[in-house]
């Protein structure tokens, strides 16, 4: 199928071009993010393929639809950036990649925990500077600590398994209990109890209206004083302003994030020569107990290959009228 890819980097073009040898779609790659301004690039393409920070709000959906697009293939799991009501009204099919490597994201979350706890970012720079002093690098044993997992789906389950391997107690909160997590010895509790008892809280639930700013001034106050918050899920789960207040007071002891609520236009770009205009992000960066990565948790070879294979199969299924298991229900 003739498909326009938005927001592509060299690694996307490489993995999709190689995988497409088995599918034979007609692929065109654009570097631009999909916005209302760039929607005209989709003219003549019955399918477009987009990523996390492309803008699929009402005006953009109407623009691509009027240009002939009928299928939107998300090469990611989350679809919080798509206005599903408008997509339904226009009869646009939306497909996604629900799972490509839960291990990649879970392992990155654990990486953030270890980096923050053992202050590896400081240690790395010190040793390069011939400073071999240990002051300021004191960490804590993970063994025996309590970890709270919010959302025990595919990624939450992998994360739980790893943390159980460290000898941690795991508490979980989810709207639905996962029997595999129960088998791992997880105890499901209400969110306030999880927050009050956990030394580390890691978010693995989707961004939905019900979970927007799940971590806010009220829930931060319920957390154990000095505890660690990890977010590799979606930036909108966390009220950044409230988190900054909690970091300043010491109520929050550590913050590790791979996602940020206003990451669009920042993450995935090289802005090293630019002046960052987002004061909140700059303030967040200034804390010594905050580690930020730029939405790279998914970024492993295995995940990229799985993303390409599933996306191209989704496009084939819709094109040939076969049942596509990865259609987003609208």
Contact residues toward ligand NAD (CB under 6 A) are 77-78, 99, 102, 105, 150-156, 173-176, 204-208, 210-211, 232-234, 258-259, 295, 297-298
d(C-alpha 165, C-alpha 215), whole Å: 27
Sign of CA dihedral 146, 149, 152, 157: negative
Residue with Cβ nearer ligand NAD (42 or 172): 172
Q: In three state form, how does the secondary structure of 36-56 look? A: CCCHHHHCCCCEEEECCCCCE
Residue recorded with tokens 């654009």: 30
Whether 234 is a known active-site residue: answer yes
Catalytic residue (choose from 263, 269, 302, 319): 263
Selected catalytic residue, list 33, 55, 234, 261? 234
Report the Cα 322 to chain-centroid distance in Å.
Answer: 30
CB of 98 vs ligand NAD, minimal distance in Å: 7
d(CA 162, CA 234): 21
Q: How far is the CB of 130 from ligand NAD (least distance, A)?
A: 35
Which CB, 69 or 160, lies closer to ligand NAD?
Answer: 160
Residue 39 or 106: which CB sits closer to ligand NAD? 106
Does residue 57 carry a catalytic annotation? no
Nearer to ligand NAD, 151 or 253 (CB): 151
3-state class (DSSP) for residue 158: helix
Q: Shortest Cβ distance from residue 133 to ligand NAD (Å)?
A: 34
Smaller CB distance to ligand NAD: residue 42 or 284?
284
d(CA 182, CA 170): 10
Nearest to 162 by CA among 119, 105, 120, 207: 105
Q: Is there a catalytic annotation at residue 58?
A: no
State how far the Cα of 37 lies from the Cα of 78, in Å rounded to an integer: 23
Nearer to ligand NAD, 248 or 301 (CB): 301
Closest residue to ligand NAD, based on beta-carbon distance = 153
Q: Quote the CA–CA distance of 274 and 264 in Å, as a whole number.
A: 15
CA atoms of 202 and 82, how far apart (whole Å)? 25
Query: Cα–Cα distance between 173 and 203 in angstroms, integer?
Result: 10
The encoded tokens of residue 42 equal 């989709």
Tokens at residue 267, please? 């993450």
Q: Phi, psi at residue 103, to the nearest 5°?
A: -65, -40
In the complex, least distance from residue 305 CB atom to ligand NAD, rounded to whole angstroms: 15
Catalytic residue among 295, 302, 316, 319: 295
The nearest distance, CB 140 to ligand NAD, in angstroms, is: 25
What is the side-by-side order of every strand in the sheet holding 2-5?
Answer: 26-29, 2-5, 47-50, 71-74, 93-95
Catalytic residues: 234, 263, 295
């Amino acid at each position: 199928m003739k498909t326009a890819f938005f927001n592509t980097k060299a690694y996307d073009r490489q993995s999709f071009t190689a995988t497409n040898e088995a599918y034979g779609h007609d692929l065109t790659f654009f570097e631009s993010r999909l916005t209302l301004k760039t929607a005209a690039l989709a003219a003549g393409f019955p399918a477009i393929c987009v990523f996390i920070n492309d803008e699929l709000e009402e005006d953009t959906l109407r623009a691509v639809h009027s240009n002939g697009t009928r299928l939107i293939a998300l090469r990611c799991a989350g679809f919080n950036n798509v206005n599903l009501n408008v997509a339904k009204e226009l009869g646009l099919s939306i497909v996604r990649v629900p799972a490509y490597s839960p291990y990649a994201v879970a392992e990155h979350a654990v990486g953030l925990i270890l980096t923050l706890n053992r202050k590896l970012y400081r240690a790395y720079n010190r040793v390069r500077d011939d400073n071999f002093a240990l002051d300021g690098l004191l960490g804590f044993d993970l063994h025996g600590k309590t970890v709270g997992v919010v959302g025990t789906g595919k990624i939450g389950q992998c994360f739980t398994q790893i943390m159980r391997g460290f000898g941690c107690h795991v508490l979980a909160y989810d709207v639905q209990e996962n029997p595999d997590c129960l088998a791992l010895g997880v105890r499901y509790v209400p969110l306030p109890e999880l927050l009050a008892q956990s030394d580390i809280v890691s978010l693995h639930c989707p961004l939905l209206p019900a979970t927007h700013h799940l971590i806010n001034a009220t829930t931060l106050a319920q957390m154990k004083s000095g505890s660690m918050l990890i977010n590799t899920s979606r930036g909108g789960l966390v009220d950044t302003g409230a988190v900054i207040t909690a970091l300043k007071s010491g109520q929050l002891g550590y913050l590790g994030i791979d996602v940020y609520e206003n990451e669009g236009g920042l993450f995935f770009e090289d802005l090293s020569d630019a002046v960052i205009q987002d004061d909140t992000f700059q303030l967040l960066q200034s804390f010594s107990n905050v580690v930020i990565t730029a939405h790279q948790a998914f970024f492993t070879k295995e995940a990229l290959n799985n993303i390409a294979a599933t996306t191209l199969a989704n496009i084939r299924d819709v094109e040939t009228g076969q049942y596509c298991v990865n259609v987003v229900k609208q």
